[in-house]
Every structure is written in structure tokens, then in C-alpha cells.
Amino acid sequence: MAIPHKSYAMEQHIDILTAGFIVVDIIAAGLSKIPVPGKLIFAPLGIRLRIGTIPQTYR
């Protein structure tokens, strides 16, 4: 006698709701000045994103 596959009637539907936030430090070193809102400036050394708090040393 064959063993029947798991019945769909026995499966449960589970809804999971998650919430949270992330803190990102945007580091743009080497800027000649901080631009006024709406102006564009290029970062000569590039931009680094770090998740979390400000690191103790920059590498």
C-alpha cells in the first residue's frame, strides 16, 4: 500500500510582518566645500557607505 503525500489540508498558512530601520553613514572625504541644497558637487575621492555607527578609524 502506498503512503499518501502530505495532505494540503494539514498545511498552515503563516503571515509574517517585519519592521525595522537601517543607519548608514555617508562619507565623502576631500570635498572642497559643502554645496548649498540643490547644487551638485563631485567627490574627488569617491563616496563610502558604512552600515552602523561611525568607525574608529578610516581605512
pLDDT tens digits for range 35-47: 888 998 888 888 7
9 in any annotated domain: no
46 falls within a domain? yes
- 30 falls within a domain: yes
Domain of residue 47, residue span: 24-59
Contact 30, 57 (CB under 8 A): no
9 pLDDT band, cuts 50/70/90, is low
Tell me, yes or no, whether 12 lies in a domain: no
| Alpha-carbon span 23 to 49, nearest angstrom | 10
Is residue 29 one of the residues assigned to a domain? yes
Report yes or no on 14 lying in a domain.
no
CA distances to 40, 42, 50 from 30, in Å: 15, 10, 17
The answer to whether residue 38 is domain-embedded is yes
Number of domains in the chain: 1
Give the pTM.
0.34
